[in-house]
Structure 1
Amino acid sequence: MEALLTSTFTVAIAEIGDKTQLLALLLAARFRNKSAIVLGILLATLINHFVAAWVGQFAVSWLDPQWASYAVAGSFFAIALWVLIPDKIDEDDNSFYKLGAFMATFILFFIAEMGDKTQIATVVLAAKYDALTMVVIGTTLGMLIANVPVVLLGHFSADKLPMKIIHRSCAALFAILGVVTLWYGM
């Protein structure tokens, strides 16, 4: 249960202001079919985070438990620093929009998540917890918690949120996870 709750909370907070959240805002402005956008986000995140979690568990199985603990803690500290750098949406490719709301969302979200901080967090969380399914469900729920309101309330701008406070809180959360991992080991 700890893996599920930590994964959900961590990714939901890390996703605020992330490029995929900005992408969700763009897609909501572009398409009327909000349920297709949400379904595209869900499926892209499930697949992407399952692969990421599997990689995390596979990688940690090759390391000595002591070194794995250091690697996971170091990764949490790195993500804490990374979160302090705000994302900006890349130039969007209009050719994906011709595919419709679901396919455009699925493809764009899957690509945008590659190497994203929430994907890396999924790798690290799966390495920390020996609960692949709970981590994938948790990180996917976190993505949905952060993105579904943006899709449904697309007119609400991220400019109105206290982004510095959110990014600093998220960085602190990842730093705390790093300290806890070092303190208690894996």
Structure 2
Amino acid sequence: MLTAFTAGLLLITVSELGDKTFFIAVILAMRHPRYLVFAGVVAALAAMTLLSVAIGQILAFLPRFYIHYAAIGLFVLFGIKLLYEASQMTDAAGDEIVEEAEEAVEIGEKNLKGRHQSLPILFESFTLTFLAEWGDRTQIATVTLAATYNAIGVTLGAISGHAICTAIAVMGGCLIAGKVSERLLTAIGGLLFLIFAVVAIWEGT
């Protein structure tokens, strides 16, 4: 369980810092009460984690042989893909993610009724985050982890990682946003996936 918790925590923390959902939380926290934004964002990410773990548990019913090698293949694929993306990134890569987040928030703000009331702010934070996270590589990686490791450990680790990243975003994200190297974080994420692949191979021997 400790291995599963650590894997989920490291994967999410590294992957989500500087991600689109991170900047959505930053922007929302600059416009609305931080505690409401934090609650809405974490609730969305927790819901996505539970959904991903549930899918992973369903996949776990497949023959162990296929799950094992599929997980290794996905970890290697994600690792190589992220390392390649990091090598191709320019200084403007982080700006593009921020622009995407700003665009998503602007659309959400236009549809927000009762912008000074708690429930609409919670709903906006939840919806924008959930939609941005859907189909993201961290969701697929969480599914893979849940199919391979202890589901409870993965769930607790992933939600803890999301909560840490969201707290950083709403409390001081605007201060560190310009200092976060998207290229470095992407490269670290790629290495982390490759490490998971090696661990999976080692545990399967």
Superposition TM-score, scaled by structure 1 size: 0.89
1:119 and 2:120 matched: no
SS of 1:98's partner is: coil
Query: Could you say which residue in structure 2 is the equivalent of 1:34?
Result: 34
Query: Could you say which residue in structure 2 is the equivalent of 1:49?
Result: 49
Relative to 1, partners in 2 of residues 1:108 and 1:81: Cα closer, same or farther, differing over 3 Å?
farther
Native 8 Å contact 1:80 1:172 kept in 2: yes
Query: Could you say which residue in structure 2 is the equivalent of 1:2?
Result: 3
Distance 2:143 2:158 in 1: 10
Distance 1:165 1:69 in 2: 29
Structure 1 spans left out of the alignment, 5+ residues = none
Query: Could you say which residue in structure 2 is the equivalent of 1:140?
Result: 159
Q: 1:82: Cα distance to partner?
A: 4.5
Q: 1:112: Cα distance to partner?
A: 1.0
Query: Number of aligned pairs?
Result: 183
Relative to 1, partners in 2 of residues 1:179 and 1:132: Cα closer, same or farther, differing over 3 Å?
same
1:184 and 2:203 matched: yes
Query: Could you say which residue in structure 2 is the equivalent of 1:73?
Result: 72
* Paired AA for residue 195 in structure 2: I
Q: 1:83: Cα distance to partner?
A: 3.7
Give per-residue Cα distances to partners, 1:68-115, cap 9 Å, x unaligned.
111011111222244454672253213344363211111111111110
What is the RMSD computed on CA atoms of the aligned residues? 2.0
Indicate which of 155, 179, 203 corresponds to 1:160. Answer: 179
Report 1:78-89 matches (<5 A). Answer: 78-84=77-83, 85=85, 88=97, 89=100
1:98 and 2:118 matched: no
Q: 1:47: Cα distance to partner?
A: 1.2
Native 8 Å contact 2:42 2:166 kept in 1: no
1:16 and 2:17 matched: yes
SS of 2:173's partner is: coil
Relative to 1, partners in 2 of residues 1:81 and 1:37: Cα closer, same or farther, differing over 3 Å?
farther
* Paired AA for residue 148 in structure 1: A
Relative to 1, partners in 2 of residues 1:96 and 1:142: Cα closer, same or farther, differing over 3 Å?
farther
Q: 1:124: Cα distance to partner?
A: 1.0
Native 8 Å contact 2:68 2:200 kept in 1: yes
SS of 1:115's partner is: coil
Structure 2 spans left out of the alignment, 5+ residues = 86-92, 115-119
Q: 1:148: Cα distance to partner?
A: 1.1
Distance 2:82 2:112 in 1: 29
Superposition TM-score, scaled by structure 2 size: 0.81
Distance 1:135 1:128 in 2: 10
* Worse-matched range after superposition: 120-129 or 75-84: 75-84
Distance 1:157 1:39 in 2: 21
